[in-house]
Structure 1
Amino acid sequence: MEYKKTIFSVCLFPALVWSQVTVVAPPTGSGTTLMPISPLRANAVGGGVRIKDLGFIEGARANQLTGFGVVLGLNNTGDKDTVYSKQALANMLQQYGLTVPATSVSSKNAAAVMVTASLPAFAKSGSRIDVNVMSMGDATSLTGGALIQTPLVGADGRVYAVAQGPINNNSFSLGTDDAAVTKNHPTAGSLIGGALVEKEVQATLVRDGQINIILNATDFTLAARMAEAIRGQAQNLGGQGWFAAARDGNSVQVMVPEQFQASPIDFIAQLQAITVVPDSKARVVMNERTGTIVATSRVKVLSCAIAHGNIYLAVNKGKDAIQVPPLAQAGTTALVPADVAKVTETGGGLNVFPELPTVQEVSQALNSLGATPRDMMTIFHMLKAAEALQAELIIK
């Protein structure tokens, strides 16, 4: 059996704004190409991004809900000997007038689970929300089970929704302890629209005649541009003069015009439709577990020289037969491991690169070295240490 180095596809994104994304399968073979993706034209007017896609109105936020429940109907894949699972079953039976000691309860068809959900802003009583379910004990699968009525509470301890219904996890686990086949993650699942909202959360959008736009990411340049774009639309929105200003790098304050004070929803709808050209930071993000590298268009590399060598390890696993010597009094033929390891190191010359001001030139330079994604990660580390990489390096 031979172990080979795994090759991952790598993409660099020079585009700051795009309206749709095309996914292309990586080419077969051992080579790997660092491929820049051309910018796609945005649907927004003027090539910008809508304010509603860059931030949200303060007060219009979701709230997290959690709950403890029991999943029934499992096919001998539930909790085996979990104390809180037994106690949960005993409590549930007691609600129906059956008093059973927790120590006497045992069912492999049930599993204790934690239930989570996100309550959207302005969700009304009777509307449905999605629910996530995760096993807490030693259950091996939740496939085929159903969640029994479970209250979902907020951080204040109040019940805001109630979840119930069959589990959907699109997975299975078949086999024995020695040999089993598992697809996806069988101990977690979801209920699409599985919870009913029981209590609304009151939200206040306008405070002292103004609203605040909270950016998705802190950026002083974007906050200033957003305020400027809103002021540019002041006449169309019914405002007079300077009625928008960036409070800091994460929020923009907007005064609501007098004619919209009684019904600010129309004003917010027009406000969120305004487009802004965002500004991105120079960043290289690397995930060392998956071998994925993503870079923004502003990545720049100063003039430098790069030399990088690779070490490849191939291990052939096998066994040799040891025969009993002729005329031996006793003994048996045995198989012993006979592994062969081969190490190959490929050298690389010192490559001198001029200043690389664009992400396209950076990708072309690294591809010319024949570097794999793992090699590129090492090169980016060294470029940052040498202060040649003019970008923030983020390791995931």
Structure 2
Amino acid sequence: MLKSLVVMAVSFLLSTAAVAERLKDISTVAGVRSNQLVGYGLVVGLDGTGDKTTFTSATFRNMLNNFGVAIPPNIDPSSKNIAAVAIHTDLPPFAKPGQVIDVTVSTLGDAKSLRGGSLIMSPLKGADGQIYAVAQGNLVVSGFGVEGADGSRLSLNVPSVGRIPGGATVERTVPNAFAQGDSLVLNLNHPDFTTVRRVSETINSLLGPNMAKAVDATSVRVRAPRDPSQRVSFLSVLENLEVQPAQEVAKVIINSRTGTIIIGQNVRVSPVAITHGGMTVAINENIDVNQPNPLAQGETVITPRTGIEVDEGSGHMFEFAPGASLQEIVESVNQVGAAPGDLMAILEALRQAGALKAELVVI
């Protein structure tokens, strides 16, 4: 399994190394970004799966007071059909008032499920404290949970989180600097000096010299028309230009929790010899029963007997030639049948020995 996955990764990397990509796929326009919105509200109509927290009762009381329904102070308005929730979403760039966006709703208290609930009108605020959207609607919950009288419980997915497609209406436009100034700035998704040089050269070859200038490893500044409509057409041409990105920095990424190992195409190894082997220790607990002769008036004795077997395994040694490539590394490791855990140890040992010519990233 490990061999097939690594070989597939190698084939994919080799097949896509020299493919040109559109500028819109490897960069973004500075100032054109989404904005996070968050809100607080109540989900009603639950089938006894809500919560009875203090802040839920206080919110419910305040909501009824806003509708002119006064609840006496000595009455607790808590109900298991109501749940306090947090609402969050991303406001896309250039979103205009009246457009709708999806929202995610999550419980704040001890509500067991939001299935069948409806979110009551709740404002969504940005980081500046201003209201940019209002959310309301019926929730779509993919998970469910059931609980027995004896405390046993079965749940599928996460029933305490739901979504409302088109559940928020935009009320305010977020200003941006897209139509300001005499230039636009393109920011690469993955900073690289070679790629940013190629981007500026590609733009200048189309529009003329000095139209684009590389600012740093991330940004390219491009002269653009002031008129917004012309700027839109101008950017439409730019984002469809094809640029061949530079090869990535040599990296080996290890996820120690899942056992996933990604070896980049440019990874090289200095001349080195590695031995690979394992030791298996098996411990067996047996019991011997000594039964005396019936006429000897003795006692039955139980004697534990422990058996220990040690298998040092068959050690394997393989050698990397100078500047071994990714394909050679994979083939050598697969020949000795190294498991993901063993491969992690081998790569770490190579790094400590200075033989691994790549950055080792453990996540």
What TM-score comes out, normalization by structure 2 length?
A: 0.84
Q: Does 1:354 align with 2:321?
A: yes
Deviation (angstroms), 1:194: 1.4
**Residues 304 and 51 of structure 1, relative CA distance in 2, 3 Å threshold:** same
Following superposition, the deviation at residue 356 of structure 1 comes to 5.1
Aligned to 1:281: 249
Q: C-alpha offsets along residues 302-324 of structure 1, whole Å, 9 cap, x if unaligned?
A: 222222334668999xxx9xxxx
**1:102 and 1:287 mapped to 2: Cα distance?**
56
* CA shift for structure 1 position 261: 7.0
C-alpha distance after superposition, 1:37-61 (max 9, x if no partner): 335877xxx9311111111111211
Do residues 89 (structure 1) and 60 (structure 2) align?
Answer: yes
1:364 lines up with 2:331 in the alignment: yes
**Deviation digits for residues 163-209 of structure 1 (CA, Å, limit 9, x no counterpart):** 11222231111233643222112222222221111111122214431
Whether the aligned pair in 1 keeps the contact of 2:200 and 2:212 (CA below 8 Å) is: yes
Structure 2 distance, partners of 1:47, 1:82, is: 56
The question of whether the paired residues in 2 share the 8 Å contact of 1:212 and 1:253 is answered with yes
The residue that corresponds to 1:180 in the other structure is 153
- 8 Å CA contact 2:269, 2:320 repeated in 1: no
Letter in 2 for 1:38: F
Post-superposition offset of 1:231:
1.0
**1:351–1:358 distance in 2 versus 1, CA, 3 Å:** closer
The whole-number CA distance in structure 1 between the counterparts of 2:144 and 2:308 is 37
Report the alpha carbon displacement of residue 262 of structure 1 after superposing the two structures with TM.
5.9
1:122 alignment partner, one of 87, 94, 116 = 94
- Give the equivalent residue in structure 2 for 1:294: 262
**SS state of the match for residue 332, structure 2?**
helix
Asked if the contact 1:89/1:102 (under 8 Å) is kept, the reply is no
d(CA) in 2 for partners of 1:74, 1:341 = 60
CA–CA distance in structure 2, aligned partners of residues 221 and 243 of structure 1: 18
- 2:295 corresponds to which residue? none
Task: Look at both structures and tell me which one has the larger radius of gyration over its CA atoms.
Answer: 2
The aligned residue for residue 274 of structure 2 is 306
**3-state DSSP class of the match of 1:366?**
helix
The residue aligned with 1:36 is 10
1:345 Cα deviation (Å)?
5.6
Residue pairs, 1:1-396, within 5 angstroms: 11-12=5-6, 36-39=10-13, 47-79=19-51, 81-100=52-71, 101=73, 104-176=76-148, 178-234=151-207, 240-256=208-224, 263-279=230-246, 280-310=248-278, 346-355=313-322, 357-396=324-363
Contact 1:356 1:362 in 2 (8 A): no
**One-letter identity of the residue aligned with 1:300:** R
SS at match of 2:198: helix
- Higher relative contact order structure (alpha carbons within 8 Å, sequence separation ≥ 6): 1
1:350 counterpart letter in structure 2: M
- Residues 1:312 and 1:361: Cα distance change in structure 2 (over 3 Å): same
CA contact 1:86–1:102 (8 Å) conserved in 2: no
Matched with 2:302 is none
Query: Which one-letter code corresponds to 2:272 in the other structure?
Result: C
Instruction: Give the distance between the partners of 2:362 and 2:22, measured in 1 at CA.
Output: 30
> What is the alpha-carbon distance in structure 2 between the residues aligned to residue 97 and residue 286 of structure 1?
60
Conservation of the 8 A alpha-carbon contact between 2:14 and 2:265:
no
CA 1:209 to 1:34, structure 2 compared with 1: closer, same or farther past 3 Å?
closer
Give TM-score, length-normalised by structure 1.
0.77
Query: Which runs of 4 or more aligned residues in structure 1 lie more than 6 Å from their structure 2 counterparts after TM superposition?
Result: 7-10, 312-316, 340-344
Please give the secondary structure, in 1, of the residue aligned with 2:356: coil
- C-alpha contact 2:145 2:154 (8 A) present in aligned 1: yes
| CA offset digits 1:279-304 (Å, max 9, x no partner) | 21111222222221223211222222
Provide structure 2 residue ranges, at least 5 long, that are not aligned to the other structure: 288-306
Distance in 2 of aligned mates of 1:310 and 1:160:
61
Displacement of 1:10 after TM fit? 7.4
- The alpha carbon displacement at 1:278 in A equals 1.1
How many positions carry a matched residue from both structures? 339
1:82 offset after TM fit, Å? 1.6
Shift of 1:142: 1.8
Percent of paired sites with the same residue = 38
* C-alpha contact 1:146 1:164 (8 A) present in aligned 2: yes
